Amino acid sequence: MKWLRRLLLLIVVLIVLLLGWFFFGGGHQPTSPAMSKVTAATLHDPALIARGQYLVTVGDCAGCHTAQGGAAFAGGRALATPFGNIAVPNITPDGGTGLGHWSFEDFWQALHNGKGRHGELLYPAFSYTSYTKVTHDDALAMYAYLQSLPPVHRPPTASTLEFPYSVRNSLTAWRALYFKEGVFQPDPKQSARWNRGAYLVQGLGHCNECHAARDSLGGTPQDVHLTGGQIPQQNWYALDLSTRQNGGLQGWSEQDVVDLLKTGQSAKGTAFGPMADVVASSTQHMSDDDLRAVAIYLDSLPARAPSPEEPSAFNANALVVQGEKVYTQRCADCHGKDGNGVAGIYPPLNGNSSVTEPSGINATRAVLLGGFAPLTTTNPRPYSMPPFAQQLSDADVAAVVSYIRHTWNNSTPAVMERDVSKYRQTPMD
Amino acid sequence: MNTNASLCPAKPFGAVVLLVAAMLFGAPLRAADAPPIPDTLQQRIAACTTCHGVHGEGTPGSGYFPRLAGKPAAYLARQMQDFRNGLRKYAPMEYTVRQLSPAYMQEIAEYFAAQQVPYSRSPLPPVSAATLQRGEQLVSKGDPANKIPACASCHGSQLTGVQPSTPGLVGLPYDYISAQLGSWRTRTRGTVAPDCMAVVANRLSDSDITAVAAALASRQLPADTHAQMAGSVTPPLPCGVLGATGDGT
């Protein structure tokens, strides 16, 4: 019996050690700015700071790191995830609440390896799964820019993650599944422009963080790239960025991609929902060369097969007849009887990938919320669409969305009244 | 086969005429049966007018969508800023204005401020004469014992508002006024600090809110409903909005 007792003791010791590591592991000595290999003179170089500002804009860091009505980059938002809310930190150089005490080495470790200043594992709501591809030089420029900002004192809000997600070391398993560290490696078989586009899309642009479906652990399997999917909590469908039919960029030219990212509108559609924010705060400021590179890269993605059409579980014909009636009354004046819209003003619905995407969420919510096209330098006084939430019943919204998804060249399944009712309740932040 | 050509010899010519006409008048090219989209602010702001009315008349029957017509422009622009910054909470408004620039907000505000729409009366709930009397006292004299200033001390002697940032209160529906006073107390409506209206709303009792909303909604409209001149009142409380121009500065 002695061996059994020893074995039990060993197991207990192992469990204690494991728990200790689980809760307290991951220690790391931070590097103080004074000990950093990067000199203050380097960081004060105006050219480096200007390049950093451009890169921080391309990465849309302000998009998450700014609270509604708050100072830019000062954090304060609570980012909703299926696992609870995650507090978004202040990244201005404030000593107490921001990155004031962070050296470049600390910054690089966070951006490249998803680890905080003391080695703690960062939650992947901070998209280091993409940022790991950013080069050392670009990261240095971004760091120089962020350190040049006026410091803003703003303590973060509290995270409300559920157990076991509240224990940072639980991310060890997550990282093994979904995170591969490594700077972008150019493909020598492709052009320099293609490689620049791939670098921007896969790295700083972190397009895949929305434009790919997440699984039940909130991760994107490593072979899944820009395949489109529903954004958790936000209830919008981020399109497949390959040239796939129904919910992809089928029929989009390079110019269409450039136009949408630059002006918010293209001949194929208008950005709305979260993508409108991305255009307004980030992509409209990208250089024409970079936008062209992104378009070249996206255009090269092999088209995926459209998802097989699921037979509707109910009689959609009556719905479509009612939908046509609503469309004629409410929509046709702007989007046209032919669904082709008005060039430069109202987007086409015929062949619009946001209309034909698999879920029907985008068209449903666009009808409910309406809103302005993105406000950009090229379109400072955009036209807008009325919100129909107060004017149309769930049944009428389902009917008109089913109609536009199933007429002209569009052939996608109907949406149901209960879905409309669900999306009506979705919080908008 | 040249059947088509012989049947419709004028078609290519017609298309050229249409194209040239479209280029000349700068109108977007559209199918022949559809009227061109006017290049007007009114057309651009369909997202606003669909609820607030083409001329900002609101929905006086229900009081749900407030009237915008004739309100001071800086006040209207300030409200859009407040929605964008989350000081005023109403998700559809926050979503709609979240991207608008200060310049575009100002242009939209000026459009609605310039609209002249007759006021229409809204239904009043049954209230006692004593309640109306208390309301009338709050409107014109306030309640010094409870440090409640008179509405008229800021919103103008005729309660038609004061340029550039103080809205009029006459002609507003009972439901709208009581809902706004309530939302100041629940912090779903606020503005830049110091938020004087929040201070006042929190000094009102529940029955005061009923009384003041009923008294304002039942008031006869003055002949001139325009806002008073800027600087014509001295507010009894410090108000952030009065030091601001509505453009976020």
Minimum Cα–Cα distance from B45: chain A residue: A384
- The tens digit of pLDDT for each residue in A120-175 reads 999 999 999 999 999 999 999 999 999 999 999 999 888 889 888 888 888 999 99
User: Which residues in chain B (79-108) have CB-CB distances under 8 A to chain A?
Assistant: 84-87, 91-92, 94-96, 98-101, 103-104, 107
Considering A121, A154, A178, which residue would you say is the last residue of a domain? A178
Residue A220 contacts residue A178 (beta carbons within 8 Å): yes
| ipTM field | 0.89
Residues of chain B with Cβ-Cβ distance to A345 below 8 Å are 28, 37
- A394 and A346 in one domain? yes
Q: How far is B25 from chain A (nearest CA, A)?
A: 15
Nearest CA among A365, A368, A414, A360 for reference residue A391:
A368
Instruction: Say whether both A36 and A138 belong to one domain.
Output: yes
- Asked if B98's CB is within 8 angstroms of A344's CB, the reply is no
**Chain A partners of B47 at a C-beta cutoff of 8 Å?**
370-372, 384-387
- What string of DSSP letters covers A356-377? HSTT-HHHHHHHHH-EEPP-BT
Segment A224-265, tens digit of pLDDT: 899 999 998 889 999 999 988 888 999 999 999 999 999 999
Do A133 and A265 lie in one domain? The reply is no
Would the CB atoms of A343 and B31 count as touching at under 8 Å? no
Measure CB to CB from residue B46 to each of A374, A381, A385 and give the nearest one. A385
Inter-chain touch A370–B98, beta carbons under 8 Å: no
Task: Assess if residue A185 is contained within a domain.
Answer: no
Pair A402, A285 in one domain: no
Cα–Cα nearest to A195, from A103, A294, A301, A270: A294
Please report, for residues A118, A122, A182, the alpha-carbon distance to residue A112 in angstroms, rounded to integers and kept in the order given: 15, 11, 7
Q: Taking CA atoms, what residue in B is nearest to A330?
A: B50
- 3-state class (DSSP) for residue A47: helix
Q: For residue A198, what pLDDT band results from cuts at 50, 70 and 90?
A: very high
Count of domains forming chain A: 3
- Would you say residue A305 lies in a domain? no
d(CA B187, CA B169): 20
> pLDDT value at position A210?
95
Question: Which CATH number do you get for residue A348?
Answer: 1.10.760.10
The pLDDT value given to residue A15: 63
Give CB contacts under 8 A, 24+ apart, made by A157-164. Answer: A157/A76, A157/A77, A157/A78, A157/A85, A157/A87, A158/A87, A159/A78, A159/A84, A159/A85, A159/A86, A159/A87, A160/A78, A160/A84, A160/A85, A161/A83, A161/A84, A161/A85, A161/A86, A161/A123, A162/A83, A162/A84
Chain A contact probe: residue of B42, B65, B78, B96 with most A CBs at under 10 A = B96
**Both A235 and A376 in a single domain?**
no
Query: What pLDDT does residue A427 have?
Result: 74
Query: For chain B, which ranges sit under pLDDT 70?
Result: 1-34, 244-249
Determine whether the interchain pair A345/B103 forms a contact, defined as Cβ–Cβ distance below 8 Å: no
Q: Do A336 and B28 touch (CB under 8 A)?
A: no
Q: Which domain holds residue A273?
A: 192-299
Which residues in chain B touch residue A276, judged by CB atoms under 8 angstroms apart? Answer: 99
pLDDT of residue B78: 97
Q: What is the pTM of this model?
A: 0.88
A205: exposed, middle or buried (C-beta count within 10 Å: 0-12, 13-18, 19+)? buried
